[in-house]
Amino acid sequence: MALEVIEITPKHRELLNRLGELIPDLDPNTPASLQRVFGLGLIALTMQVTNRARQQRQDALVDELGALAREMVEAEGWDAQEEGDQQ
C-alpha cells in the first residue's frame, strides 16, 4: 500500500517526525514504521479498553484482551528488550 493512501493530519505528521528524531529506528516515511506506530496505537487502545472492561467487571473480555496484548508485545520483541535493560 502506498503511503499516499493514508491521510495524516499535519499534527500527526509533526508527532511522527518528532518521534522519528527520538527513536533511532523509526522512519516516519516508511510503511514498516507506520505499521509499527499503528501496532503501538492498537496496544494503547487495547490497554484503555481493558481498563474500562476491568472497571465494569467484564473478566472474560479482560482475559481475552490481555492475551492479545501479550502476543503483540512478544511479537514486537519488547519483552526481550526489557530483560536486556534490566541486566
Q: Write out the chain's pLDDT in tens, 87 residues.
A: 555 577 888 998 899 889 889 888 888 888 888 888 888 888 788 888 888 988 999 899 889 888 887 887 787 776 554 444 444
pLDDT at 86: 45
CB 20 within 8 A of CB 27: yes
| DSSP code of residue 4 | G
Query: How many other C-beta atoms lie within 10 A of the C-beta of residue 12?
Result: 13
In angstroms, the CA 62 to CA 60 distance is 5
At 2 the pLDDT is 55
**Alpha helices per DSSP H over 1-87:** 10-22, 31-55, 59-76, 78-86
For 6, the grid coordinates are: 493514508
